[in-house]
Structure 1
């Protein structure tokens, strides 16, 4: 699975990492400072990685994009650019990744963008678990970035309903509770993994 990627205002280390990862996947990488709407609409599998800034630079770019392009856009944020990332979420971008980027984050985001639709029920024989994560009010994106750094690229975390996060985790069933306990210790007392539903239909309560 390969696709081309465009980095828009990414920090130099993230831009370099993205380029190397995309090229290793067989795609091409282009770095720009703004999005050419006419050209972008003609390339259906091009995925945009836009760097969030402390001055809402990403939001100003994304607000000019039609819905089809926003769905192919991935925000890249740091803890000091959360306001910009929050604006991107409200405008319907595909997902938010944590800077500094890792190859796993890039590969996972591109795979999800190309695949579209719901996550598969299993990956390499390992079942999918959908986890609702409760966090303190006002810390949703901060905890999303922290959790994004702890999970693998093909795992996924997005804003959920009523101030929660939704974590999609591929893990053998017997190990899920131990993994969530580790996350709980690392993220602190304000984060709770209240309910888990597996692809097989099982559910249980965690930390």
Structure 2
């Protein structure tokens, strides 16, 4: 009987030790979990902090500078004038912008890329205007006053050589047409061809002098 009692006492002691061991294991698990959670939160906080440092939120694009806005506005105006064939108005604006560009260069306040953008836009419209003046001057049906305006426009754009070539081409065509008419008229048959040809040439020269 005494033996059995001792067995029960030992079993009871073992059960108490098991309970204590379970409690210890549970406590250790909780500590380990808290430790892991703390490390994760710390790591997450560091990653988030590094993310905001390495990849900051992109700022909104800065508004256009005054020169950039001016470039867009002038370009749109010139495109409209060129589309409507209001060439003299476009020429006046380009001449004004050329003076503006010189002033901007002297001030040296605009970034080089913005200045280059402005200059490229004006040069592009200048070439478009010169091309339209060229088309007008080469059209055989263009009246003399309109031809003169186109040639003057080319000179003001800085291309007097092209203007001279187009003027010579125009008078060569007029002389050739006059010669053809003389050859088909009675004047050629009656031997007064040279006199009529001289009158034609001098008449053209006189008209050109009066137009200048």
Q: TM-score range by the shorter chain?
A: under 0.3
Larger radius of gyration: 2
Structure number having the greater strand percentage: 1
Structure number having the greater helix percentage: 2
Relative contact order, higher structure (CA 8 A, sep 6+): 1
Normalization by structure 2: what TM-score? 0.25
Normalization by structure 1: what TM-score? 0.26
